[in-house]
Structure 1
Amino acid sequence: MLDMLNILNIQDSNFADVLTLDEAFKSCIDANCTTSIYGAYAFVTKGGFDVMFSDVSQKKQIKNINLVIGMDGITNTACIEHLKKADSQLFDIKAYIPTTNAAIFHPKFCILANEDHSRGWLIIGSGNLTVRGIRKNQEAYTAIELFSSDLTDVIQTWDNWLGVTHQNLKRLDDDIVTTKAEKNSNMFRGSVKAKGSRKRAKERNKEIGKEAKKKDSQSIHENIYLDERKDFDGWSFNADSEVLIAEIPKASNRWNQANFNKATYLDYFAGSLKTSKKQVILRHVDPVSGWLDGIEHRPCVAVKSKNFRVELSAAAGLEYPKEGSPIAVFINVGKRTFIYSLFMPENDYYSTLKEWVNANWVNKGKRTDRKCRLTFPVHAHRKLLEPTKLFQYFEDEDLVSYDLFSIKSS
């Protein structure tokens, strides 16, 4: 059993040392040289799938990943289209369609097995394959190590279930899956009371131009508003979310490996000095377009020096400015999970951020060249964040998240 895993693991921000569901999943994969993965999850989102599988699928040891996903809520069109693009040589993904409206598909577990099925794991708990379920919600799970006969029994149960429920399992391109996904998209749109967000969406629609005006209002709403929000699962923040304003030092030619002091690394990023099993997840929000870039998986690596590195993809390939230091704005959206924007001196909003840094950063160290490292809750300096593209992910009182209790099988 891995040192970081207990029989009962409660995923809660108040537990400093608990592994998130994806961290436990990946640790177990490495612990027994997993080659096969089998899993069933009731609700799936594009972001949740990527957090769990985007880097796992790059491991050469993994030969096959078999997933069964539910379509009774949350799993929408954007998610299904994303899953269709998964490597078909590696992934075998089927949608479960119940034969009755009296029950929904609700399991949340995965089975890991090595090549000869002599060792594996059963990870089962409350978290769905969503960013909220994996990194943000208060969830619980257990990871049970299995050997030989027990693992064989578990895999046999899986195979038996697939056999007796084959009529419920549909390909992702099946018409009934497409219809279910569309209904889930519409349900999400109908359940979100986003007055402020819809007002902003309406204003953006006015700027679309004559070409967009040719589309009907429902199409515009779905293509513009829904597409912009489809990746908001777990990436939104609120007034109490913690912000880090950090000037990025040059340090070396690879300045994209941003150096942070020990306190910032441990207290803000919730890194570890003891294990590399914990993983920081980042997503960059382009400061100009507002585009949400791909997921960045960053293992927590302890180093002998006093500097602790967090690699920033947004800085890769960029020359360090001759004047001024790049400024990164991080916002904590979940356990070791952050969205951020990197502002270079040529960015329009850089001067405003720099003025704020100059007015608020007090260098307490002996060295005068120490860079700004300031943390605060969003509400403390909300006006500073509002003009940035990061603020489109602010979840205010008008935005209500998924009401799972209202979800019914359709």
Structure 2
Amino acid sequence: MASAAEQLAAHINFQALAKAEELKKRIWFTLAALIVYRLGTFIPIPGIDALELARLVQQQSSGILGFVNSFSGGALGRMAIFALNIMPYISASIIIQLMTTVSPHLEQLKKEGEQGRKKINQYTRYGTVILAALQAYGIAVGLEAQGNVVLDPGWFFRFSTVITLTGGTVFLMWLGEQITQRGVGNGISLIIYAGIVAGLPMAFAQLLELGRTGQLSTFTIIGVIVMALAVIAFIVFMERAQRRIIIQYPKRQQGNRIFQGETSHLPLKINTAGVIPPIFASSLLLLPITVANFMQGQGPEWLNVITAMLGRGQPLFLLLYAALIIFFTFFYTAIMFDPKEVADNLKKYGGFIPGIRPGEKTAEYIDYVLTRITFVGAIYLTAVSLLPEILTSYLRIPFYFGGTSLLIVVSVTMDTVAQIQGHLLAQQYEGLVKRSRLRGKRKRP
């Protein structure tokens, strides 16, 4: 059942939004920051032949280049200053999170609260700069190997490309943090969201163009649109789904007063891993295709064989894609949620699961429940990712109608709307408190 806060937030109207001055400032700041990001995706780095670059992107649209280009809002295809987008920051964050499980120093920092979190964020920023510089250098060398794409190849082009692309990623990292602090929603997620949404009109136009030229029938186009709407509805349902474990708190005494025991619940999301598993699985599988395309058939024979077998829509590709999504779902969930830590916190505050002993038994029970619902979440992510992948491969539908893109768009939209409702709810409570105080003052003699 929805809580009282959720019910109240569901009935918030635009009149309440018009009175929320602080929230309106946050929304305008978020929109302004996203406009700055979109402008940066049209500023190209120096020394690039735009026509040759467009030809190259068209040739490699089925590889990881097209995959990352969709997340960058076309910035990579235009080789703009934001071509790397925020991906190096996400990679650095995941690497740091993985290292916290094996590094005693990082694990200790994680337990130190706010100060430890700031230190970990600093390490993440350093890692972002290193990864962005490496990726930028790889892009510069790869572009030089593509014939006439680079006007003046050499170390000056490589140096300027590394500085420009790394600086663009660092700026986006800062911009995302500013949106999180001064705007609405998670800044990093909104930047990726803006890149995908910016490509949706063009993707829809491409879909209609396929129908106009006769490559797709009208029935097929309608079916694709219906499928996209069905996938969105399914994503909304699954992202809101959770398993609630009942938590009981015993009676407690404060002075001469005795408080009755309280009943609460521990919500476990069906999809704790979010959109990370499909992104990682796609990147790993599309890497051989991209390497082979850059080598233009000059690579070893085994690489060409693997590339053919891992073509999008091929049985081996779909099988490995599903296996990697399931693996990363369990792996990332294990990193994000620690049943032992949750059990220790419950024991610390006197909470317990009815019928389960506090401590180790509680941790085992939570882990058992989490494993079962994570399996459901893994199947959900696999289904959402594979079905559009099959249609994209065989019908040549734009990638933006794929499951990963829709998953990111829907998830970020739901999180942002929830934050807006939270701000409005807090304002309503503040208004109630102020009115009650005024009434109290008026009643005084």
* TM bin (shorter chain): under 0.3
Question: Of Structure 1 and Structure 2, which has the larger fraction of its residues in strand?
Answer: 1
Q: TM-score, normalized by length of structure 1?
A: 0.28
Q: TM-score, normalized by length of structure 2?
A: 0.26
Question: Of Structure 1 and Structure 2, which has the larger fraction of its residues in helix?
Answer: 2
